[in-house]
């Protein structure tokens, strides 16, 4: 709980009247849209995910970066494009997640990008597989002003870890995490807050008690046990844990599987934020990994223009009318 409060405090510290007012009008337009069943959209994105790169060192089975299965181009975000986005959004952006697909630390200027956003007064966060947390990168991370670092670690032994993080070395993750915590303490810093994220699957659920003990021993700020999104869940999967508390899916009683949560014709994410790929494509959310629903391209147009264009409006309208007609929304627990 303590970590959540420290993170919330940092988030609030970056708020301004303009950002808070923007958040309020976004929420108001979301509620009105739901009531009237018509997409009304005031305000600008309050959160963004920006993809530093699609490159990744691992081969995780439920990830198109890992499977090398993207149909969209792969590459690295340019500093110019990033500056342009930050310049346009800094007045109302309350949360920037510098991650979408790929491993962010493979971007050669990754920590410079974080510094840039931090200097613009934006709360920053990222996710990593922690294979590149050497001393130089750790020091740069501590200097960058990053507020939250989510580290993916889905096993406490190499054998189980590599079941999902194919090609990964658990010893590197543990070393990098240990170094980060040690140097943060030595430098007497509070940030970045370290969140250890454990994607619970049928292969690793038996290690939950051990990961809890280990996280406590290491002194990580928070451990998150997260359910795993599975692309083809209808016929079951070895990735679905036995303990359905950690599953997004349940049996339908006829030998098939279905989403646990009832799909409703709404989506707050569609009103509050967007995802931008390394080459500037604006996609609705992180479920659109291959960029199937591109709303426009920053660099060619401003985000503000894209955010209110006809394509976005039609997409939001479809969410309100019948969300199940949108392919990515069928497997979403939002």
The position carrying tokens 């096993």 is: 155
Report the alpha-carbon distance of residue 77 to residue 104 in Å, rounded: 10
Contact segment (CB under 6 A) with ligand SF4 among 9-17, 33-41, 67-75, 281-289 equals 281-289
Judged by CB under 6 A, how many residues of this single chain contact ligand SF4?
A: 12
Which stretch in 14-22, 74-82, 217-225, 283-291 sits in contact with ligand SF4 by CB under 6 A?
A: 283-291
Q: Which is nearer to ligand SF4, 248 or 269 (CB)?
A: 269
133 close to 180: Cβ distance less than 8 angstroms: yes
The CB-of-142 to ligand SF4 minimum distance in angstroms stands at 33
332 binds ligand SF4 (CB under 6 A): yes
Q: Can residue 274 be called a binding residue for ligand SF4 (CB under 6 A)?
A: no
Residue 192 lies near ligand SF4 (rule: CB under 6 A): no
Q: Is 267 a binder of ligand SF4 (CB under 6 A)?
A: yes
The minimum distance between CB 250 and ligand SF4, in angstroms, equals 18
CB-CB neighbours of 39 under 10 Å: 22
CA atoms within 13 A on the CB side of 304: 11
**Binding range to ligand SF4, per CB under 6 A, among 22-30, 93-101, 141-149, 323-331:** 323-331
CA distances (Å), 11 to each of 4, 17, 125, 131, 258, in order?
A: 10, 13, 11, 27, 36
By beta-carbon proximity to ligand SF4, the closer residue of 181 and 259 is: 259
User: Cβ of residue 110: shortest distance to ligand SF4, in angstroms?
Assistant: 26
Least distance (Å) between residue 290 CB and ligand SF4: 13
Q: Which is nearer to ligand SF4, 149 or 270 (CB)?
A: 270
Q: Is 329 helix (H, G, I), strand (E, B) or coil?
A: helix
Site membership for ligand SF4, residue 63 (CB under 6 A): no
Tokens 């939002």 -> residue? 334
Residues sharing a CB contact under 8 Å with residue 182, sequence separation 6 or more, in sequence order: none
Distance CA 210, CA 198 (A): 12
User: Looking at the chain, how many residues does it have?
Assistant: 334
Question: Greatest CA separation found in the chain?
Answer: 57
The count of other CB atoms within 10 Å of the CB of residue 31 is: 14
Q: Which of 270, 276, 283, 303 is close enough to bind ligand SF4 by CB under 6 A?
A: 270
Q: Does 179 bind ligand SF4 (CB under 6 A)?
A: no
Q: Of 95, 287, 307, 312, which one interacts with ligand SF4 (CB under 6 A)?
A: 287
Phi then psi for residue 280, to 5 deg, are 95, 0
276 binds ligand SF4 (CB under 6 A): no
Q: Please tell me whether residue 34 binds ligand SF4 under the rule CB under 6 A.
A: no
Check: CB of residue 75 under 8 Å from CB of residue 65: no
> Which one of 45-53, 102-110, 155-163, 266-274 is the stretch in contact with ligand SF4 (CB under 6 A)?
266-274
- Tell which residue, 252, 78, 59, has the closest CA to residue 165: 59
User: Does residue 150 contact residue 128 with C-beta atoms inside 8 Å?
Assistant: yes
Identify the residue among 248, 269, 281, 289 touching ligand SF4 (CB under 6 A).
269
Quick check: 102 and 54 in contact, CB under 8 A? yes
* Cis, bond preceding 315 (omega within 30 deg of 0): no
Q: Could you say whether residue 284 binds ligand SF4 (CB under 6 A)?
A: yes
- Report in angstroms how near the CB of residue 265 gets to ligand SF4 at its nearest: 9
Nearer to ligand SF4, 114 or 332 (CB): 332
DSSP secondary structure code for residue 233 in this structure: -
Chain positions contacting ligand SF4, by CB under 6 A: 267, 269-270, 284-285, 287, 323, 326, 328-329, 332, 334
């Amino acid at each position: 709980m303590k970590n959540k409060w420290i993170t919330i405090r940092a988030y609030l510290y970056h708020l301004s009247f303009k950002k808070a007012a923007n958040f309020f009008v976004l929420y108001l337009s979301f509620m009105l849209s739901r009531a009237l069943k018509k997409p009304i959209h005031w305000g600008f994105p309050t959160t963004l995910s920006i993809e530093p790169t699609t490159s990744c060192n691992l081969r995780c089975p439920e990830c198109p970066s890992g499977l090398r299965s993207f149909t969209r181009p792969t590459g690295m975000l340019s500093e110019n494009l990033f500056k342009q986005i930050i310049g346009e959004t800094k007045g109302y952006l309350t949360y920037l997640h510098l991650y979408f697909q790929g491993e962010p630390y493979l971007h050669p200027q990754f920590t410079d990008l974080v510094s840039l956003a931090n200097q613009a007064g934006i709360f920053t966060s990222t996710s990593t597989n922690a294979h590149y947390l050497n001393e130089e990168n750790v020091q740069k991370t501590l200097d960058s002003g990053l507020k939250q670092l989510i580290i993916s670690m889905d096993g406490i032994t190499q054998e189980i870890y590599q079941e999902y993080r194919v090609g990964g070395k658990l010893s590197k993750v543990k070393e990098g995490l240990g170094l980060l915590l040690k140097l943060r303490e030595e430098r007497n810093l509070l940030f970045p807050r370290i969140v250890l994220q454990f994607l619970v699957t049928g292969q690793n659920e038996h290690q939950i008690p051990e990961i809890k003990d280990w996280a406590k021993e290491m002194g990580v700020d928070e451990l998150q046990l997260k359910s795993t999104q599975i692309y083809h869940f209808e016929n079951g999967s070895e990735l679905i844990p036995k303990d359905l508390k950690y599953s997004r899916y349940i049996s339908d009683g006829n030998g098939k599987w279905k989403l646990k949560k009832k799909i409703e014709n709404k989506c707050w994410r569609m009103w509050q934020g967007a995802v931008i790929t390394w080459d500037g494509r604006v996609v609705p959310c992180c479920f659109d990994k291959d960029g199937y629903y591109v709303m426009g391209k920053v660099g060619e147009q401003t985000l503000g223009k894209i955010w209110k264009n006809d394509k976005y409006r039609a997409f939001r309208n479809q969410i309100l009318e019948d969300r199940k007609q949108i392919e990515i929304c069928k497997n979403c627990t939002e």
